[in-house]
Structure 1
């Protein structure tokens, strides 16, 4: 089930929070920067994994942050300077479905993947999220883009 939420995704009590990242180890803008500040232990694990080439498009990098809770680092961009690619979002959503079952996730907070600094159109990404995550046995808490 997908429910739309407003507000600060980082304050959500979901079992897993999705963090939009690149694959080069930089969390310098947007929501990723907020994650870096709020969860430095996640940033350290992510940066190390990037240096070891273990963060790749289409593959979610999970980091446990406290008992039973996860940050799911979701590559939305290959490089922080690049724009997002819809095929990377689609492949990442497929991996998120796999990981959700593997980790037994029941609530997942999801931002507008690739729609901020990534430049993808929200209606297209929303449709893809609905298609890929709508049938999960988990509550997806979707945070649409904030109005300008």
Structure 2
């Protein structure tokens, strides 16, 4: 692809490979979540040393420790990482753009898109009965966030 980046066959293969990788990563993550939930239930629930150890591990995994700036500088200090993230979003506050330069609309339109029916389902109002139904389907063994 480096020699000829516009070869549609290579682009299609790359897209397919990326989709497969994402799928198998989600399968692996699902397996890990299920295993941890089983261990957690078997080892006594939320008031055990195991539970707190798992929570600390999860918090460490969900944290941004380093970040690479636009100038290719690796920031490792927490204050520097925070400053970079806040600065990134502050650039967008109070500004508008007629187009999104980071998004190639042709590429986006050639990819998968939701049908009109699916789009309407996503923007439909949520009813109280739907909320009640969803809450009733949550099992007692379900750990929040897993």
Instruction: Please give the range of the TM-score, normalised by the shorter of the 2 chains.
Output: under 0.3
Higher strand share: 1
When the two structures are superposed, what TM-score results if normalisation uses the length of structure 2?
A: 0.20
Higher RCO (Cα < 8 Å, 6 or more apart): 1
| Structure with greater helix share of residues | 2
Please identify the structure whose Cα radius of gyration is greater: 2
Give the TM-score normalised by structure 1: 0.20
